[in-house]
Amino acid sequence: MPAMQMAVNISPLHIKDSSLINSVSAALETSGLSPELLTLEFTDTVIKFRGGHRHTIEKLSRLGIKIAVENFGSGIASLESLKHLPLEYLKIHPRFITDLMDNPGTANLIGPMVNLAKALGCTVIAKGVAFEQQAQLLVGIGCSLGQGGYLGKTLSGSQLAAQLQATVYKGGAESVLFGEQVVSELS
């Protein structure tokens, strides 16, 4: 079975825990997972804080772990905060994707988000892609990765294990596992 990337959401409470770095290191050691295959997701609420959080995120990145900002566009992260972090992914909040078909102006908001992600050297992922039309609109805007029901339903741990055991997962080697959902190419 090919190696797959995996992501774990880190809550604001976890980022404050002084043992987070040691816990993540121990989990990598125990599981044998290569750090490059792990992405830790933080909400932009976590990103807004300076000091310890930034240093913790930088230390995690130095371990080889990828860092993602979850639900981008819904919180209060400043561009100043974002530009100083070692980010790999910006994940657009699903409300923007849901609104995309009903409100043509939403594309005018998503486009700059995609451009911002690229300017920061990040890969952008659209969360909540439920329909083919949304995927097509996102590709037209410049967002080529998505997550949501259109690309694959949320799976329980046992369902995911069975699916991986059968090596039948949408998107092949280009897929990235975020939580219990697969992130795939939209086109």
Average pLDDT, the chain: 83
Which domains, and CATH codes, for the chain? 6-185 (3.20.20.450)
d(CA 67, CA 57): 8
* Rounded CA separation 123/91 (Å): 8
CA 55 to chain centre: 20
pLDDT per residue over 10-63, tens digit each? 988 888 888 999 999 999 999 899 999 999 999 877 776 555 588 899 999 999
Mean pLDDT over residues 142-170, rounded? 75
pLDDT-based confidence at residue 153 (cuts at 50, 70, 90): confident
Q: Which residue has the higher pLDDT, 78 or 101?
A: 101
